[in-house]
Amino acid sequence: MEKEIKKYARQRDEMVRRQIEARGITDPKVLAALRKVPRHLFVSEALVDQAYGDFPLPIGEQQTISQPYIVAEMTQALQLTKDDRVLEIGTGSGYQAAILAEIAFRVYTIERIHTLFIRTRKLFDTLHYHNIVTRYSDGTTGWKDESPFDAVIVTAGSPQIPSSLVSQLGVGGRMIIPVGNQFSQDLIKLYKDEKGIHQTSLGGCRFVKLMGEHGWKEG
């Protein structure tokens, strides 16, 4: 048991050094979260040995847990502080939400596939992530009752930026969303201030589809 724990801590440290720091991620809070969250518990038992590799992995239902680097890049871009309330669309394995929960005050995460929602909600309980609130619904319409948010992160690729999510972002808020076609997207960062919305691109990426009212339509 003790030996296992040490083995994974070593793998995480190596992951952070080789994949994350080596590629220019510097936010100490992001690096500490990646060193702490047991990524191997967010994948199926068959994939535990690959959990700290430099790639995404399948999590069932044709969905994936993102590559560690993309999780780090998106989290750093959100510029989180310990008082922030964050909305995540696409709970999936729960790994990204756990990373956010290590840094921010509270994470609100929405998943549209019921089996993933149930499985991951249980995992959050097991790992004592009491500052993660889960919801089973179409996340493209956001979570109006809990808005405005300090940060919004969409972890699935969208054909456009859902206006509902932008409107639930508070003044001073940051949002990260992959926008493009189903094969490749641009990682877009939005910043909202009194004057309006400011948009920059962080480069190319590839995510599974954001399905729903303001995402890709079924069929």
What is the binding site for ligand SAH (CB under 6 A)?
63-66, 89-90, 92-93, 95-96, 110-113, 116, 138-140, 155-156, 208, 210-212, 215
Q: Residue 74, Cα to own-chain centre: how many angstroms?
A: 7
The residue sitting closest to ligand SAH, measured at its beta carbon, is: 92
Classify 45 as helix, strand or coil. Answer: helix
Residue whose entry in the numeric block shows the structure tokens 């890049």: 73
Closest to ligand SAH by CB, 85 or 119: 119
Closest to ligand SAH by CB, 93 or 185: 93
Task: Please state, in angstroms and rounded to a whole number, the distance separating the CA atoms of residues 57 and 51.
Answer: 8
Measured from the CB of residue 5, what is the shortest distance to ligand SAH in angstroms? Answer: 22
Measured from the CB of residue 194, what is the shortest distance to ligand SAH in angstroms? Answer: 30
Q: Active site residue: 66, 93, 147, 158, which one?
A: 66
Task: Please state, in angstroms and rounded to a whole number, the distance separating the CA atoms of residues 56 and 63.
Answer: 10
Q: CB burial class (10 A; 0-12, 13-18, 19+) of residue 3?
A: exposed
* 44 is known as an active-site residue: no
Measured from the CB of residue 148, what is the shortest distance to ligand SAH in angstroms? Answer: 19
CB 31 within 8 A of CB 16: yes
DSSP-H helix ranges across the chain: 2-15, 28-36, 68-77, 95-103, 114-126, 163-167
Measured from the CB of residue 156, what is the shortest distance to ligand SAH in angstroms? Answer: 4
Closest to ligand SAH by CB, 1 or 109: 109
Backbone angles phi, psi at 131, to 5 degrees: -100, 20
**DSSP label at residue 66:** P
Measured from the CB of residue 196, what is the shortest distance to ligand SAH in angstroms? Answer: 26
Closest to ligand SAH by CB, 85 or 193: 85
Closest to ligand SAH by CB, 37 or 190: 37
* Residues recognised as catalytic: 66
